[in-house]
Every structure is written in structure tokens, then in C-alpha cells.
Amino acid sequence: MAKARTIIHFECSDCKNRNYSKIVSKKRKFEKLNLKKFCPKCRVHSMHKETK
């Protein structure tokens, strides 16, 4: 059986470090997520964009 979910990672827009991950459905038809999260490397809250 094929897997219905995939793992996406969130990359910091400042330092390009991949800090967070999330499991989402492959049927999702939205644009890429942009979340404001804490980056432990930069030590600030910054935008994190979705990557594969």
C-alpha cells in the first residue's frame, strides 16, 4: 500500500537551518506554509517556510 502522508520540513528564512518537521496528507492542495517559529540557531522568532 502506498503511504498517504509525507514529511515536510520548515526552514528558517534567515539562517536556512531546518528546525521543525510535520507530517501532512499528500492530498493537500494548498500553497506552501509559512509559519513564524523560534529558531534555536538564530535565537529569534523568524519566518519558517515549507521545504520537502
Q: For the chain, what are the domain ranges? A: 5-51
pTM: 0.79
**Which CATH code of 3.40.50.10490, 1.10.8.640, 2.20.28.120, 3.30.70.20 fits the domain covering 5-51?**
2.20.28.120
Q: What is the pLDDT of residues 9-51, one digit of tens each?
A: 999 999 999 999 999 988 887 788 899 999 999 999 999 999 9
The torsion region of residue 16 among left (phi > 0), alpha (psi -120 to 50) and beta comes to left
Strands (E), the chain: 5-12, 18-25, 34-39, 44-51
Count of CB atoms within 10 A of residue 24's CB? 13
